[in-house]
Structure 1
C-alpha cells in the first residue's frame, strides 16, 4: 500500500462537534444522497475518536437509508481504535487525500484538516479532493471550534468553491466577525481591508449593531434582523435549501463563494 498523502492532525474531536455542519448537509444535500445510486460519503481526517463519523452516519441514514460512510484517517492507531465500531454501511480505513475507496464519493466531509497547511497547499488539496468526486458530488471543507459552537465551511464541486457557510450558537460570539478565526485556510489570512471577506464581516458587524434593539426579544431575533439587513447589500440566499428563516434561525448564514472570493 502506498504511503497516505497528508500529515497527521492533532486529532481533537468530541461529541456533536460537527453537528452544525451535519445538519446543513442533511438539509442541503440529503435529496442528492437519496437520489444517488449507492451513495458513498467520506469523512476525511475524523481524528482520535470515531465519534463524529458515527454521528454523521446516523444522521445521514435518517434521510438516505442506503448511504455508506467511510471514515479515513492517516494515523494507523486511530483507525485501529475505530475498527470495533464498524457496522453495515460504516467502515474505517487508513489513508489521506488520495482517498483509498473503491468508487467516487457523492460527498466528502473534511473538517479541521487543512488548518495546518499553507494556503497554496490548501488550494491544491481542494482540487485533489474535488477531482475524485462522483458526478454532482460535493466537498464540504471547514473548521469548527473545539466545542463545535462556531464553524465555517465551504461547499465545493469539481468546478471550484460554490458556497461558504457561517454557523454559531447564539451564546458563542459577541459579534459575527468572531467567526473569522474559523475561516477556511484560503481566506483566513485575507481578512484585511481591501479583501471581500473583510468587507463582508465588517458589514455583518454593522448589521448586528443596527439590529441591537431586536436583542430585547432574544439573540435569535437579533440574528434574524441582522441577516435581513445584510441581504440588502449582499447576495444572501433567501429560500431553501441554502437560505430563508428556517436556516437563519439556527444561527446560520450561507453566501455564494463568489461574494467573498479572494
Structure 2
C-alpha cells in the first residue's frame, strides 16, 4: 500500500460535534443519495474517535437506507480503535486524500482537516477531492468549534465551490461575525476590508443589530428577522432545500459561494 497522502491532525472530536452539518447534508443532499444504488459516503479525517462517523452513518441511513459510509484516517492507531465499531454499511480504513475506496463517493465530508494547511494547500486539496467524486457528487468541507456550536462549511461539486453555510446555536455568539473563526482555510485570511467575506459579515452584524427588537421574542426570532433583512441585499436562498424559515430557524444561513469568494 502506498503511503497515505496528508498529515495527521490533532484528532479532537466529540459526540454531536458535527450534528449541524449532518442535519444539513440529510436535508439538502438526501435526494442525491437516494437517487443512487448503494451510494458511497466518505468521512475523511474523522479523528481520534469513531463517534462522528457513526453519527453520520446513523443519520444518513434515515434518509437513504442503502448508504454506505467509510471513515478514513491517516493515523493507523485511530483506525485500529475504530475497527471494532464496524457493521454492515460502515467501515474504517487507513488513508488520506487519495481516498482508498473501491468506487467514487457520492459525498465526501471533510471537517476540521484543512485548518492546519496553508491556504494554497487547502485550494489544492479541494481540487484533489473534487476529482475523486462520482458524477454529480458533492464535497462538504468545513470547520466547527470543539463543541460543534459554531460551524461553517462549503459545498463543492466537480465544477468547484458552490455554497457556503454558516451555522450556530443561538447562545454561542454575540454577533454573527463571531463565526469568522470557523471560516474555511480558503477564506479565513480574507476577512479583511475589500474582500467580499468581510463585507458580508459586516452586513450580517448590521442586520443582527437592527433586528434587536425581535430579541424580546427570543434569539431565534431575532435571527430569522436578521436573515430576512440580509436577503434584501445578499443572494440568500429563500426556499428549500438551501433556504427559507425551516433552515434559518435552526441558526443557519447559506449563500452562493461567488457572493463571498476571494477577489483574486
Give me the TM-score of the superposition, normalised by structure 2: 0.99
Rounded Cα–Cα distance in structure 2 between residues aligned with 1:197 and 1:131 = 26
1:121-144 per-residue CA deviation (whole Å, 9 max, x = no partner) reads: 000000000001000000000000
1:174-204 per-residue CA deviation (whole Å, 9 max, x = no partner) reads: 0000000000000000000000000000000
Partner residue, 2:159: 159
Rounded Cα–Cα distance in structure 1 between residues aligned with 2:80 and 2:146 = 23
Partner residue, 1:58: 58
1:10-64 per-residue CA deviation (whole Å, 9 max, x = no partner) reads: 0000000000000000000001101112200000000000000000000000010
1:209 equivalent to 2:209? Answer yes
3-state DSSP of counterpart to 1:69: strand
Rounded Cα–Cα distance in structure 2 between residues aligned with 1:193 and 1:172 = 25
Rounded Cα–Cα distance in structure 2 between residues aligned with 1:34 and 1:157 = 17
Partner residue, 1:138: 138
Aligned ranges 1:56-95 → 2 under 5 Å: 56-95=56-95
Aligned length: 262
Rounded Cα–Cα distance in structure 1 between residues aligned with 2:36 and 2:122 = 28
Rounded Cα–Cα distance in structure 1 between residues aligned with 2:67 and 2:228 = 36
Rounded Cα–Cα distance in structure 1 between residues aligned with 2:128 and 2:144 = 22
Partner residue, 2:147: 147
3-state DSSP of counterpart to 2:187: helix
The answer for unaligned runs of 5 or more in structure 2 is none
Partner residue, 1:241: 241
Rounded Cα–Cα distance in structure 1 between residues aligned with 2:235 and 2:144 = 24
Rounded Cα–Cα distance in structure 1 between residues aligned with 2:142 and 2:36 = 24
1:199-250 per-residue CA deviation (whole Å, 9 max, x = no partner) reads: 0000000000000000000000000000000001000000000000000000
Rounded Cα–Cα distance in structure 2 between residues aligned with 1:190 and 1:258 = 14
Partner residue, 2:42: 42
1:58-90 per-residue CA deviation (whole Å, 9 max, x = no partner) reads: 000001000000000000000000000000000
Give me the TM-score of the superposition, normalised by structure 1: 1.00
- Runs of 4+, deviation exceeding 4 Å: none
Rounded Cα–Cα distance in structure 1 between residues aligned with 2:96 and 2:182 = 22
Aligned ranges 1:22-37 → 2 under 5 Å: 22-37=22-37
Partner residue, 1:183: 183
3-state DSSP of counterpart to 1:70: strand
